[in-house]
């Protein structure tokens, strides 16, 4: 399967998640066979201003590919300038965020605010596509609110303007994360355009990923929250697609993954920041595991890497080959 000319080996891709899908996380899910990863959300304005912090968040040379860089903004010219900057970096695809419902983003006219103005959204894509060499994709929601669901119309317009693929998160913006993703509508979008559609929303198991892929007509499924604390879901999905079954994760394997994640974060952020930042992820990894709450509490108080490693090893020591997910 391809997006633009970019070959994607798995039909399950990782969703962009601000604050999580940094370089170490992206590398980890790619090791587990995700078809593609996306950067954290990058402000077009900040890129054009050459903000050091935002520039550092761009995909970097040497990281596993394919990787997409996601930008947001409300001004067509600024988005175009930012896309030109991204076009010169080590990524495969430029993704425009037309779905983020967060006020900080929509008040600039970007993210989901663009769902209310198909003509402007179309103009932006046409402008960006003609200004860059890499494929341009768009991530949308089903509409702005319940009364203005317009994903089919929007997808057709964006395809006409040159988008290489469209990701649809099956909720409208005003829903936030409440209710359920509307996979019926995602299927309608997939039926309505020729370009690959990436279906997204509420996939947390391998069986759901496989089922949604088969029933929706999407080229790919995108997994977000379901991969937090479970980056191996991509390997399990790939196994299941190939063989009809998949290996479960054991405690001993989970321990190895967390320790590896911590090492990768240390290389990227330095020890102090890595130990602080991995706390959120430890929360996801150990959710629902017996003794997890006490372990998380202790991990949150641990400030040096070696003590944290000992704590992690100690937590999993007695579980051995116990199957966790």
Q: Which stretch binds ligand FMN (CB under 6 A): 200-208, 240-248, 289-297, 312-320?
A: 200-208
Q: Considering only CA atoms, which of 295, 296, 305 is closest in space to residue 272? A: 305
Cβ distance to ligand FMN smaller for residue 98 or 316:
98
Q: How far is the CB of 198 from ligand FMN (least distance, A)?
A: 10
Q: Which of residues 4-23 bind ligand FMN (CB under 6 A)?
A: 15-18
- Residue 95 pairs in a beta bridge with 70, 137
Q: In terms of DSSP H, where are the helices of the chain?
A: 23-31, 44-48, 52-56, 76-87, 103-106, 118-131, 151-160, 183-192, 206-216, 233-243, 251-269, 271-285, 292-300, 305-317
* 203 makes contact with ligand FMN (CB under 6 A): yes
* Torsion from C-alpha of 148, 217, 162, 10, nearest 10 degrees: 120
Cβ distance to ligand FMN smaller for residue 8 or 251:
8
* 210 makes contact with ligand FMN (CB under 6 A): no
100 is an active site residue: yes
Cβ distance to ligand FMN smaller for residue 195 or 228:
228
Query: In sequence order, which residues have a C-beta less than 8 Å from that of residue 204 and are 6 or more positions away?
Result: 223, 225, 226
Q: How far is the CB of 41 from ligand FMN (least distance, A)?
A: 3
* 99 makes contact with ligand FMN (CB under 6 A): yes
Give the count of residues interacting with ligand FMN (CB under 6 A).
20
Q: Considering only CA atoms, which of 207, 213, 171 is closest in space to residue 190? A: 213
* 46 makes contact with ligand FMN (CB under 6 A): no
Q: Which of 224, 230, 232, 246 binds ligand FMN (CB under 6 A)?
A: 224
Structural contact between residues 209 and 33, judged by C-beta atoms closer than 8 angstroms? no
Q: Which of 74, 226, 229, 231 binds ligand FMN (CB under 6 A)?
A: 226
Give dist(CA 104, CA 111) in Å, integer.
10
* 223 makes contact with ligand FMN (CB under 6 A): yes
Q: Which of 45, 200, 236, 238 binds ligand FMN (CB under 6 A)?
A: 200
Cβ distance to ligand FMN smaller for residue 110 or 308:
110
Q: Considering only CA atoms, which of 246, 141, 159, 155 is closest in space to residue 200? A: 141
Q: Judge residue 46's burial from the number of C-beta atoms within 10 Å of its C-beta, 0-12 exposed, 13-18 middle, 19 or more buried.
A: middle
Cβ distance to ligand FMN smaller for residue 195 or 223:
223
Catalytic residue among 42, 86, 100, 126: 100
The contact mask relative to ligand FMN for 122-151 (x = CB under 6 A, - = no) is -----------------x------------
Tokens coding 90 = 């080590």
Q: Could you give the residue numbers annotated as active site? A: 100
Interface residues with ligand FMN (CB under 6 A)?
A: 15-18, 40-41, 70, 97, 99-100, 139, 169, 200-203, 223-226
């Amino acid at each position: 399967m391809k997006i633009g000319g970019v070959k994607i080996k798995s039909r399950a891709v990782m969703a962009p998640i601000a604050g999580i899908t940094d370089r170490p996380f992206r590398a980890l899910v790619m090791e587990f066979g995700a078809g593609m990863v996306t950067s954290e959300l990058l402000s077009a304005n900040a890129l054009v201003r050459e903000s050091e912090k935002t520039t550092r968040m761009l995909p970097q040379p040497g990281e596993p590919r394919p990787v997409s860089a996601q930008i947001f903004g409300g001004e067509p010219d600024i988005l175009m300038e930012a896309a030109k900057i991204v076009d010169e970096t080590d990524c495969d695809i430029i993704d425009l965020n037309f779905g983020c419902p967060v006020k900080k983003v929509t008040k600039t006219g970007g993210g989901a605010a663009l769902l209310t103005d198909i003509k402007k959204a179309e103009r932006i894509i046409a402008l960006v596509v003609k200004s860059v060499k890499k494929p341009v994709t768009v991530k949308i929601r089903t509409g702005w609110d319940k009364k203005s669901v317009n994903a089919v119309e929007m997808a057709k317009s964006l395809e006409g303007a040159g988008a290489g693929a469209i990701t649809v998160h099956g909720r409208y913006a005003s829903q936030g994360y409440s209710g359920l993703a509307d996979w019926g509508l995602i299927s309608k979008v997939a039926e309505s355009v020729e370009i690959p559609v990436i279906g997204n929303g509420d996939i947390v198991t391998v069986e759901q990923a496989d089922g949604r892929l088969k029933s929706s007509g999407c080229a790919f499924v995108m997994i977000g929250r379901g991969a937090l604390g479970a980056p191996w879901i991509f390997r399990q999905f790939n196994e299941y697609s190939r063989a009809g079954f998949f290996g479960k994760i054991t405690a001993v394997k989970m321990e190895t993954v967390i320790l590896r994640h911590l090492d990768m974060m240390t290389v990227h952020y330095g020890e102090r920041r890595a130990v602080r930042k991995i706390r959120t992820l430890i929360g996801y990894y150990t959710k629902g595991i017996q003794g997890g709450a006490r372990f998380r509490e202790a991990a949150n108080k641990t400030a040096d890497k070696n003590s944290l490693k000992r704590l992690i090893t100690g937590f999993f020591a007695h579980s051995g080959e116990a199957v966790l997910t």
